[in-house]
Amino acid sequence: MAGITNAAYRRLCREQGAGLYVCEMITSRGLVEGDATTKAMLVFDELEDVRSVQLYGTDPAYVGKATEILCTEYGVAHVDLNFGCPVPKVTRKGGGAALPWKRNLLGEILTAAVSAGERHGVPVTMKTRLGIDADHLTYLDAGRIAEESGAAAIALHGRTAIQGYSGTAAWEPIGELVSRVSIPVLGNGDIWEAADALRMVEQTGAAGVVVGRGCLGRPWLFRDLAAAFSGAAETTLPRLGEVATMMYRHAELLSQHMGEERGCKEFRKHVSWYLKGFGAGGDLRHRLALVSTLAELESLLGELDPDEPFPAVVLGAPRGRQGSERKRVVLPEGWLDDTDGSGLSLFEDADEVSGG
């Protein structure tokens, strides 16, 4: 998630529980051409011993070279290819969730990345969606191609590109993909609580889950997930005082990585996610959303009621962007005319940072 899964937040989540925490999405072209924005996003915490990066690309040569750079210059231990982004500025160029429609191009990109990764013992995985829309599904072919190309795993988000983040994710196709391929399939979509992850794995046979919006304002979700998958039935329901401590720790880590002024400014967008459902008044929320120093933040957090229980009403409730289903997916002209794409030349912006 652009602007969310930076080094500070990955460190915070890692302090809560086991898991693989993936860097914000970067573009292959941006990395190969030395784009400043791209390089600035490739920052890792000093304790981040397993470096994982999500890579976006539409050109096999660029993706292969970018994977090589990540392995040799950044010490990355895992590369995840993003073929799930539904944002119009990405799909209109044939990228993200649009790209798997071109089966051969998808295979060329995967092969280039896997080959580069194999030279350094670095696994390559891919993330995708069900397809462009209900009439143009791609997930079964994408799974087959991922397996044939040597990908280590495939993560499937149970929505199409046209759905964006609206409605409810379909988990049945995840189970269908599990039955069709021999590589691990990870389920993605509507994992809001640890219980959701257990249900998904039970219903689909997925090897694990991928969490996106579910961790917004909930870094302790990974503690819950680790406990749930180890057999513990308890769920963390922190009181507001514990949430406040987590909020300060988050801002502190951001300040360590970005400097205090910039770190506190970056933290502001997280305030509403952390406080969702709690009784903190509008004035206090507003002041927290304008915080500029750690001292100011500490003072404002002290105004919260530390004993206020976690609002059970928000359990299982969506967090982050939702919106409504789009009328159409913006695609390159003639994109749906064939499913080949071999040798197709597509342009990607060097500083594209949208997730998916």
Mean pLDDT, rounded, for 126-148 = 98
pLDDT at 201 exceeding the cut of 80? yes
pLDDT at 4 exceeding the cut of 90? no
pLDDT at position 353, please? 53
165-180 per-position pLDDT tens digit: 999 999 999 999 999 9
For the chain, what percent of residues have pLDDT higher than 70? 97
pLDDT at position 146, please? 98
Residues 248 and 104 in one domain: no
202-250 per-position pLDDT tens digit: 999 999 999 999 999 999 999 999 999 998 866 778 999 999 999 999 9
Residue 351 lies in a domain: no
Confidence of residue 17 (pLDDT cuts 50, 70, 90): confident
Residues 84 and 115 in one domain: yes
Residue 197 lies in a domain: yes
We report the CATH number of the domain holding residue 278 as 1.10.1200
pLDDT at position 81, please? 98
Instruction: Give the C-alpha separation, 17 to 260, whole Å.
Output: 26
Nearest-10 crossing angle of helices 139-149, 172-180: 40
pLDDT at position 351, please? 62
pLDDT at 144 exceeding the cut of 90? yes
73-108 per-position pLDDT tens digit: 999 999 999 999 999 999 999 999 999 999 999 999
Give the count of domains, the chain. 2
In terms of pLDDT, which residue wins out, 271 or 312? 271
Asked if 290 contacts 303 with a C-beta cutoff of 8 angstroms, the reply is: no
pLDDT at position 5, please? 84
In terms of pLDDT, which residue wins out, 322 or 34? 34
Query: Structural domain of residue 189, as residue ranges?
Result: 7-231+321-337
Residues 117 and 194 in one domain: yes
212-223 per-position pLDDT tens digit: 999 999 999 999
pLDDT at 267 exceeding the cut of 70? yes
Instruction: Give the C-alpha separation, 179 to 175, whole Å.
Output: 6
Which residues are known catalytic residues?
85
pLDDT at 272 exceeding the cut of 60? yes
Mean pLDDT, rounded, for 8-13 = 93
Instruction: Give the C-alpha separation, 290 to 279, whole Å.
Output: 19
Residues 296 and 159 in one domain: no
> How many Å from the N-terminal Cα to the C-terminal Cα in the chain?
7
Q: What is the mean pLDDT of the chain?
A: 93
Residues 141 and 258 in one domain: no
pLDDT at position 344, please? 83
**What number of residues does the chain have?**
356
Residues 50 and 121 in one domain: yes
The per-residue DSSP string of 296-332 comes to HHHHHHTTS-TTPPP-GGGTT---S------S-----
